[in-house]
Amino acid sequence: AQTVTQSQPEMSVQEAETVTLSCTYDTSESDYYLFWYKQPPSRQMILVIRQEAYKQQNATENRFSVNFQKAAKSFSLKISDSQLGDAAMYFCAYLSGGSNYKLTFGKGTLLTVNP
């Protein structure tokens, strides 16, 4: 079974600064997808960024980018120019590339943005 580990229960960053959230995963599969979800206090899970395992290029979405190290099974999220609205729980998630669409989530990292 796949596992996802987020080793940072909490992180904080100053507004306009950069922060990196860590995620490692364990799998024997070669075809899979990785996601970062944001969950604000409203509880709505919002997709931040996704990465296909077969792509070597790291995904980027505006201020959000990932560092995908397939051999090390590491998938970190970098948030640049942090904004107050970035404050939320961030979950790393793994999805098998097969027909099983089960998302496996980490325990999350609570990000605080200080003004």
Partner 1 sequence: EAGVVQSPRYKIIEKKQPVAFWCNPISGHNTLYWYRQNLGQGPELLIRYENEEAVDDSQLPKDRFSAERLKGVDSTLKIQPAELGDSAVYLCASTGVSNEQFFGPGTRLTVL
By CB under 8 A, name the binding residues for partner 1.
4, 33, 37, 42-47, 50, 91, 93, 95, 100-103, 105-108
User: Residue 43 CB, nearest distance to partner 1 (Å)?
Assistant: 4
* Three-class DSSP category at 71: coil
**CB of 43 or CB of 72, closer to partner 1:** 43
CB of 95 to partner 1, least distance (A): 6
Instruction: Please state, in angstroms and rounded to a whole number, the distance separating the CA atoms of residues 70 and 54.
Output: 9
Cβ atoms of residues 5 and 105 within 8 Å: no
Query: CB-wise, 13 or 49, nearer to partner 1?
Result: 49
Smaller CB distance to partner 1: residue 14 or 44?
44
What span, in angstroms and rounded, lies between the C-alpha atoms of 90 and 100? 23
The residues with which 20 forms a beta bridge, in sequence order, are 78
